[in-house]
């Protein structure tokens, strides 16, 4: 009898010792929660525009013609590529007996760029952004001189690496009932500064200010309206 009583007492002692440990372990269990932060889906919209820039090179007004194409990322910034060309002809003051200048100079630029354009702010009727770009191309210089009654032309080529920074402003046409497509159109103005990163041996003075003003087509807005009219079909599990 004494042995049984001692065993029962022993069991109760062990149970009393283990009970607090179990309660403490239960209190320290922390439920694992899944990350509730939503993952934002990447939004890409096409973007592109004609890019005609006006400037002065060697005190002569010139037009730099180009086109840009890229994508608008999450409606916060645009990235893409562009292509530009410029042709400038300079005639000498001296002329021959027939009135033809004896010295002529033709400057040609062909270059491509990559650009990054973050939006500073976007409103319903206008938006403003900064434009950063870096390019690579070729400068070609054709000089023609009349020597002993004959015109001789010499051609020189040089690698051309320009960089630039500017500000761009878009004005959007208001939405008119029945003429919603007009909101895809507007006006664009830009002003900026360009700099030749690589100094050319041809002494092509490309550094200086540029500006542009012209019409604009907002391809990203067209894309947004098309997605609203034709939303993607949801997958059925």
**Mean pLDDT over the full length of the chain:** 81
| Whether pLDDT at 26 is above 80 | no
Domain count, the chain: 1
pLDDT digits 0-9 by tens, 205-220:
788 899 999 999 999 8
117 is in which domain, residue-wise?
A: 44-87+109-139+153-229
Domain assignment of residue 206, yes or no? yes
Q: 114 or 180: whose pLDDT is higher?
A: 114
pLDDT at 191: 97
**Candidate ranges 67-81, 90-104, 193-207; pick with highest mean pLDDT:** 67-81
Domain assignment of residue 36, yes or no? no
| Whether pLDDT at 2 is above 90 | no
Any idea what the CATH number is for the domain that residue 220 is in? 2.40.160.20
Domain assignment of residue 77, yes or no? yes
Domain assignment of residue 68, yes or no? yes
Domain assignment of residue 199, yes or no? yes
pLDDT digits 0-9 by tens, 145-199:
777 767 788 888 888 899 999 999 999 999 888 898 999 999 999 999 999 887 6
Domain assignment of residue 10, yes or no? no
Domain assignment of residue 213, yes or no? yes
Domain assignment of residue 4, yes or no? no
In order, the DSSP letters of the chain are -HHHHHHHHHHHHHHHHHHHHHHHHHHT--PPPPP-PPPPPP-EEEEEEE--EEEEETTEEEEEEEEEEEEEETTTEEEEEEEEEEEEEEE-S-B-TTS-BSEEEEEEEEEEEEEEEEEEEE-SSEEEEEEEEEEEEEEEEEEEEEETTEEEEEEEEEEE-EEEEEEEEEEEPPPBTTBGGGGGEEEEEEEEEEEESSPPTT-----EEEEEEEEEE-HHHHHHHHHHHSPPPPPP-
Q: Output the pTM of the full model.
A: 0.74
pLDDT at 60: 84
């Amino acid at each position: 009898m004494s042995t049984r009583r001692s065993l029962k007492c022993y069991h109760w002692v062990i149970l009393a010792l283990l009970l607090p440990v179990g309660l403490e372990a239960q209190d320290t269990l922390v439920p694992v929660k899944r990350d509730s932060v939503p993952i934002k889906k990447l939004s890409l919209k096409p973007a592109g525009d004609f890019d005609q820039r006006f400037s002065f090179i060697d005190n002569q007004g010139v037009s730099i013609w180009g086109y840009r194409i890229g994508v608008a990322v999450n409606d916060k910034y645009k990235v893409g590529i562009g292509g530009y060309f410029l042709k400038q002809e300079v005639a000498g003051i001296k002329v021959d007996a027939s009135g033809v200048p004896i010295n002529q100079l033709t400057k040609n630029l062909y270059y491509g760029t990559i650009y990054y354009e973050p939006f500073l702010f976007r409103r319903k009727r206008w938006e403003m952004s900064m434009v950063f770009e870096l390019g690579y191309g070729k400068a070609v210089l054709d000089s023609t001189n009349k020597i002993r009654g004959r015109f001789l032309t010499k051609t020189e080529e040089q690698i051309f690496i320009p960089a630039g920074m500017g500000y761009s402003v878009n004005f959007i046409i208001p939405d008119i009932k029945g003429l919603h497509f007009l909101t895809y159109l507007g006006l664009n103005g830009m002003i900026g500064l360009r700099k030749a990163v690589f100094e050319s041996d041809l002494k092509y003075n490309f550094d200086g200010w540029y500006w542009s003003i012209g019409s604009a087509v907002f391809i990203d807005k067209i894309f947004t309206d098309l997605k609203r009219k034709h939303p993607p079909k949801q997958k059925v599990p």
